[in-house]
């Protein structure tokens, strides 16, 4: 099994939303096709990968560094003893001559290729990637469905409480039972009114999480935390800069409920620093590293191993990014849950068309690979990159 | 003063060297020209910037995100009250809609533009950038020359002790008095023989630093440190992964001499974590953050402010990267020194042609701007991007 060609296209996944820090009107995504020399049922095995939302397309890094390295590597050096593509050796080849530290952007680019590799491998075995991942990592059969929450509650350009409640109601109507909303883009009293409205809509504060997207200073985060604590929310996410472990630790010391962070942590060394210095509390707090933004499954599995040594288990992990690779990992690794952004970042975001959310859980499709082909909206974009 | 156009070209700065982690045979650099509507002495003011070595060209990120943002910004939003380009407002415009965390690659891309902005501003004032920086940051007149050491002692493909000594001797002949050499790419006993040879050549262990490029585990780093400690070297650099503050702290607890690190730390939050958790000792250890890899002068000044609050002063800083912007910053901010890579990474590396190193110090050229035009080897590359 060899890679014969790689292709990439960049697409806009613009949304009219904004959080406390950025707006998403210029958000882009790279879609990669990794073409192999293998055929299954007469059809060429092509692995597809894309980057998770929040960071941008990586056309430049892919074309300047990572595709050339992949194609320059001796095919044998990218394969295991059985002659199959080896995600670990590919990871190593991609990071050849990359210095340590500085884990941003390139972690996204490598994550895209990693997703395409797992997609190709599962397709070569003619099984869903959730099943393939469980087998490769020596786990039990994957869960049939994974706990999923709806991330929304953005600051709409013309947003008011009525439109916010309508947005949240639409998630509940879709089958979600837990939601997350943005805070920190408005004054505290306005945010508290927004939170109260969402709690009323959802019916239970424990099913509502809030996300400050790293916007607050320690003092602001603690002040917000004091106001939020009595509400008993599901969690309080990214109160401070994602790398400001000292401030996070101060927040953790004063906020009794669950904190969540990690979507802007892209490597094992960074994840370990978060665990060591962030003051987070095992089995209370939630880690949200997104494999697709963090060099892919190979690095994510290393991260989980490293975190396990610090007491964190798979059930503490609820990855950022509402995409099918995380759904498969959630099922295979039995993670605490996954995120979803209903209706936005389409057609890349979201799950297979035939997999409705039911009572807060979503299943993976019975198709070979990650399941991108199981989304009608994606098929034309896949076909632009590859068709036989 | 407005930016009318930006241009970029990528160049190879290949060197036959390798350190303990990467080889430099594929190293690239982006050169950017920032064309303004200002003329001085009848000549168009064009600012040039490039990225420091060790990380790669940033053509993709520049063209996909940062140039479009720069050109889409209202010109007034990039200028100060006097109508001049404002490096802080430009920095803010470039990082619009960028999430926090993940400081790699984009920090390099933004650093390139930042260098070009300072180059343009100093040229618009018709003064060297060292003088301009000292004025803008309210400092005294810049130092005439800055302490500089020669980074070399690489593992040459055909290297032996004779060629290593010849390499080191060539630096001394150029006027350097302090040198740094790579370790960790060979077994300890071989490295000790290499170090001993270099000490003999330089004449004094306090003028020899060693650099492991983040290669060691904590245990290996401590073992190396035990062997190095009796030698009384200038410093022991990057013993462990640049983000592994826990291991660095263990090394600091066992190694009595100066440690140095920071070249792979690209943001203020990362620098603060290093200061908080790395176990480093103020006024013994050395910080090496490279402004050109770290979002530029704007972020570097913030880093220095944040570190000052932790007890670190300018004299503790010896930035990575042997380029003229760091020389100017060394002079304007009175840093502890700067790095240089004699003869490699040319024509981007190194200083003005008329500025020989004398007794371990190097001066900045009396030309407007950063001084790229004062290197004959660079002039054709500058002219490729811009000529009137």
- The nearest CA of chain A is from the CA of B65 a distance in Å of 9
Q: Is B103 on the interface with A (CB under 8 A)?
A: yes
- Is 90 exceeded by the pLDDT of residue A50? yes
Query: Catalytic site residue A41?
Result: no
Least confident of A22-36, B126-140, B166-180, B260-274: A22-36
Percent of chain B scoring above 70 in pLDDT: 96
pLDDT of residue A13: 82
Lookup: tokens for A185: 């883009």
Please list the residue range(s) of chain B that carry CATH number 3.30.390.10.
Answer: 3-126+380-385
- Kindly report, residue by residue over B284-339, the tens digit of the pLDDT: 999 999 999 999 999 999 999 999 999 999 999 999 999 999 999 999 999 999 99
Query: Where residue B346 falls among pLDDT bands split at 50, 70, 90?
Result: confident
Q: Is A102 on the interface with B (CB under 8 A)?
A: yes
How far is A289 from A385, CA to CA, in rounded Å? 29
Pairing type for strands A286-287 and A28-40 reads unpaired
pLDDT of residue B366: 97
**Residues B79, B89 contacting (CB under 8 angstroms):** yes
Neighbours of B219 (CB within 10 A): 11
- The nearest CA of chain A is from the CA of B326 a distance in Å of 20
Q: Is B56 on the interface with A (CB under 8 A)?
A: yes
- Kindly report, residue by residue over A153-168, the tens digit of the pLDDT: 988 666 589 999 999 9
Q: Which residue of B has its CA nearest to A24?
A: B97
- Is 80 exceeded by the pLDDT of residue B15? no
- Cβ of B104 and A102 within 8 Å? yes
Query: Where residue A345 falls among pLDDT bands split at 50, 70, 90?
Result: confident
- Kindly report, residue by residue over B215-229, the tens digit of the pLDDT: 999 999 999 999 999
**Residues B146, B63 contacting (CB under 8 angstroms):** no
- Cβ of A214 and B100 within 8 Å? yes
pLDDT of residue A346: 85
- Cβ of B60 and A60 within 8 Å? yes
- Cβ of B99 and A22 within 8 Å? yes
pLDDT of residue B49: 98
Segment A333-345 shows an average pLDDT of 94
- Cβ of A264 and B102 within 8 Å? yes
Please list the residue range(s) of chain B that carry CATH number 3.20.20.120.
Answer: 145-373
Q: Is A213 on the interface with B (CB under 8 A)?
A: yes
Report pTM: 0.96
pLDDT of residue B17: 59
Q: Is A60 on the interface with B (CB under 8 A)?
A: yes
Contacts of B63 in chain A (CB under 8 A): 60
- Is 80 exceeded by the pLDDT of residue B157? no
pLDDT of residue B326: 98
Mean of the per-residue pLDDT values of chain A: 95
- Kindly report, residue by residue over B185-224, the tens digit of the pLDDT: 999 999 999 999 999 999 999 999 999 999 999 999 999 9
pLDDT of residue A18: 59
pLDDT of residue B26: 81
Q: What is the CATH number of domain A145-375?
A: 3.20.20.120
Q: Is A274 on the interface with B (CB under 8 A)?
A: no
| Residues facing B33 on adjacent strands | B7, B48
- Cβ of B104 and A100 within 8 Å? no
Q: Which of B103, B182, B323, B375 is catalytic?
A: B182
- Kindly report, residue by residue over B235-273, the tens digit of the pLDDT: 999 999 999 999 999 999 999 999 999 999 999 999 999
Contacts of B57 in chain A (CB under 8 A): 64
Out of B22, B23, B105, name the one closest to residue A61 (CB).
B105
Q: Which fold has domain B145-373?
A: TIM Barrel (3.20.20)
pLDDT of residue A158: 62
Query: Where residue A45 falls among pLDDT bands split at 50, 70, 90?
Result: very high
| Residues facing A180 on adjacent strands | A151, A209
pLDDT of residue A268: 98
Q: Which residue's structure tokens are 């209706």?
A: A343
Query: Where residue A388 falls among pLDDT bands split at 50, 70, 90?
Result: confident
Q: Measured on CA atoms in the order B320, B325, B329, B330, is the torsion positive or negative?
A: positive
Cβ under 8 Å to A: B residues 227-256: 241-246
- Is 90 exceeded by the pLDDT of residue B16? no
Q: Which CATH architecture has domain B3-126+380-385?
A: 2-Layer Sandwich (3.30)
Query: Catalytic site residue B182?
Result: yes
Contacts of B261 in chain A (CB under 8 A): none
How far is B150 from B233, CA to CA, in rounded Å? 15
Mean of the per-residue pLDDT values of chain B: 95
pLDDT of residue B388: 86
Q: Which of B91, B123, B125, B320 is catalytic?
A: B320
Segment B40-56 shows an average pLDDT of 96
pLDDT of residue B378: 96
Query: Where residue A344 falls among pLDDT bands split at 50, 70, 90?
Result: confident
Segment A115-142 shows an average pLDDT of 98
């Amino acid at each position: 099994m060899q890679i014969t060609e790689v292709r990439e296209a960049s697409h806009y996944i613009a949304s009219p939303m904004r959080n406390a820090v950025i707006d998403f009107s210029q958000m882009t995504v790279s879609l990669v096709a990794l073409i192999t020399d293998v055929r299954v049922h007469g059809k060429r095995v092509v692995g597809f990968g894309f980057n998770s939302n929040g960071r941008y397309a990586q056309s430049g890094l892919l074309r300047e560094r990572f595709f050339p390295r992949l194609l320059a590597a001796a095919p044998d050096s990218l394969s295991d003893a059985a002659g199959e593509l080896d995600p670990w050796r590919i990871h190593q080849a991609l990071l050849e001559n990359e210095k340590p530290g500085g884990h941003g952007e390139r972690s996204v680019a490598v994550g895209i290729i990693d997703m395409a590799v797992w997609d190709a491998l599962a397709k070569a075995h003619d099984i869903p990637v959730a099943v393939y991942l469980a087998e490769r990592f020596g786990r039990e059969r994957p869960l049939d469905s994974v706990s999923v929450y709806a991330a929304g509650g953005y600051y709409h350009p013309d947003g008011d409480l009525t439109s916010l409640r309508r947005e949240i109601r639409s998630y509940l109507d879709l089958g979600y039972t837990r939601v997350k909303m943005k805070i920190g883009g408005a004054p505290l009293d306005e945010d508290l009114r927004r939170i109260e409205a969402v709690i009323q809509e959802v019916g239970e504060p424990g099913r509502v999480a809030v996300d400050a997207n790293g916007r607050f200073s320690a003092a602001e985060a603690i002040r917000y935390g004091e106001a939020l604590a009595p509400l008993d929310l599901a969690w309080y996410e990214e109160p401070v800069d994602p790398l400001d472990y000292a401030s996070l630790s101060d927040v953790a010391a004063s906020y009794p409920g669950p904190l969540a962070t990690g979507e802007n942590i892209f490597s094992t060394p960074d994840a370990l620093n978060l665990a060591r210095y962030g003051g987070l509390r095992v089995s209370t707090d939630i880690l949200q590293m997104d494999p697709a933004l963090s060099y892919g499954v190979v690095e994510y599995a290393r991260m989980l191993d490293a975190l396990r040594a610090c007491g964190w288990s798979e059930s503490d992990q609820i990855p950022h990014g509402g995409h099918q690779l995380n759904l498969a990992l959630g099922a295979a690794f039995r993670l605490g849950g996954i995120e979803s952004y209903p209706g936005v970042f389409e057609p890349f975001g979201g799950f297979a068309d035939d997999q409705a959310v039911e009572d807060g859980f979503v299943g993976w499709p019975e198709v070979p690979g990650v399941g991108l082909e199981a989304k009608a909206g994606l098929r034309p974009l896949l076909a632009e990159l590859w068709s036989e």
